[in-house]
Structure formats: C-alpha cells, structure tokens
Amino acid sequence: MSEPPMVSFENVTKRYGSLTVLDGLNLTISRGEKVAIIGPSGSGKTTVLRMLMTLETIDGGVIRVEGEPLTHTERQGRLVPANLAHIRKVRAKIGMVFQSFNLFPHMTALHNCMEAPVKVLGLSRAEAEARAADLLEMVGLSNRRDYYPSQLSGGQQQRVAIARALAMRPRVMLFDEVTSALDPELVGEVLQVIRKLGEEHDLTMLMVTHQMGFAREFADRVCFFYEGRICEEGEPKAFFQNPQNERSRQFLRAVLEAG
C-alpha cells in the first residue's frame, strides 16, 4: 500500500448559519507539494487553512493528516469526535502564518520563537534558544533577535512569525495571505523567505495568496476557489496561460488588470 497523502480533505463542508462556505470539498495534497489557493474573497479559501489548523470546526466530512483524522478518531470503523489530546497530537504536524502576523507583543523576536518549543515540545531553554537563533538567521533577522514586534517593520514581523512557526518543526506550513497586510516594498523579503524555505526543506505548503506571479513560479499546483468549491485546479503554467473555466478567466483578467 502506498503511503497516505500528507493532507486530505474528504467531502468537507463548512457552514456559518445558513451560509455554506465550503460545499463538499475534496482536496488531496502529497508530501512536499506546494499548493497555491486563489480565488475571489468570500470563496472559502482562508477557511480551508483555518479548518486544517483547527481554528474552525467542520460541519461534515473529515480532514486527514498523514492518513489520521484530524478532529476525529476511528472507533469500531466509525468516526467520532476526538479529544483534545488527539487533536493536539495531529495538530503538531501543522504550522501557520497569519495575515496579521499575530506575534506576541510582550516577547522579543527570540522569545516569540522559543515559547512553544519550551512549553510544548519540552526543549530546554538553551536548546530552544539555539533553534530560534538558527531560524532567525535563516529569515535574515539575527541582528533583531532582541527586538520587540513593535520595533520591527511589517516584513520583519512576518519573517519572525515564519521562524516562530518553523521552530515547532511542522510537516505542513499554512500561509494565509501573509503579504496582504504589508507595504508593497516589504512583500519581496517575505516571499523570498518562503521561496528559500521551499528550496531547502521538504515542507508541504499550502498558501492562500493574491500574489499571482509568486503562485505561478513557486507552486506545484494552483487551486482556484469559487463559491465554496474548487472551480479549477492544475499546474500553474497551464492554469495561468490557458484557464479552462469561465470563472477562472474572469478572475485572472480582473486580477491582472488591477496589476
């Protein structure tokens, strides 16, 4: 039997009241794959990441991480809601970077990256500090390790947030519009870090992005969401050059016009 996919959404449904945000989503992501999720706002793309990070509950279907149900356990062949210990065990494989950084404002860059490794993984402070220092170097912020978030630019904060997530050694990284809150001149430095991450590590990445150029050159696959469904998906080159679906064409035209 072949190894299970890194992440799979099986017939996942999400509703807010009477509004169906995701309607029977099926999406399989293999180990090391880089998937860009694009689409107009309100199409449910951010919800996909938030469900996988367990920030949103799901109303139907199941999400699996390396074959293991994320918020369920199998009992006598049936899926029942899992306890927090199970969720935390599976969730440990996933890291997330947010649009609004969400760094802890009362901790320095270094301490932001040390908190979870010490408190969750049980690393000693020295081990955690070494790991945090390495990661801050990787994102090019060695000289800012003792700065507080408010003393850093948006781009620097987002790079610290990436280092902080990586310090937990996740298998899957989720990027939720990570450049949308940045001034245009700061977008590049964050994208460069993500690019480097993709080249140097065998990380599985899921990113919701509006940076079409980046999605095109970086992703292995593009999923275009429209009204809670994947409307079209495929290799970036083919998708951007020759979108098959009318909605995708409209969307790309609108985005390209906006520049």
Partner 1 sequence: MWDWAFTLEILPALARAAVITVEVTILGFLIALTLGLALAVCRIALPWTRLPISLLVELIRSTPLLIQIFFLYFVGPSFGLTLDAMTTGVLAVGVHYATYCSEVYRAGFESVPRGQWEASVALNLGRATTLRDVIIPQAIPPVVPALGNYLVALFKETPLLSAIAVLELMQTAKIIGSQTFRYTEPITLVGLFFLAMSLVSAWAIRRVEAGINRRYRR
Straight-line distance from the first to the last Cα atom of the chain, in angstroms, rounded to the nearest whole number: 46
Q: Which is nearer to partner 1, 102 or 245 (by Cβ)?
A: 102
Where do contacts with partner 1 occur on this chain (CB under 8 A)? 53-55, 88, 91-92, 94-96, 98, 100, 102-106, 115-116, 119-120, 148-151, 164-165, 168
Shortest gap between Cβ of 152 and partner 1 (angstroms)? Answer: 10
Q: How far is the CB of 74 from partner 1 (least distance, A)?
A: 22
**Distance from CA of residue 136 to its chain's centroid?**
19
Residue whose CB is less far from partner 1, 160 or 230: 160
d(CA 245, CA 122): 49
Instruction: Report helix, strand or coil for 43.
Output: coil
Closest CB to partner 1 among residues 159, 164: 164
Task: Tell me how far, at minimum, the Cβ of 111 lies from partner 1, in Å.
Answer: 10
Q: What is the dihedral of CA 48, 157, 92, 8, to 10 degrees?
A: 20
Least spacing, CB of residue 148 vs partner 1, in Å: 4
Check the CA dihedral 131-178-176-83 and report its sign: positive
Nearer to partner 1, 55 or 133 (CB): 55
Distance of CA 153 to the CA centre of its chain: 22
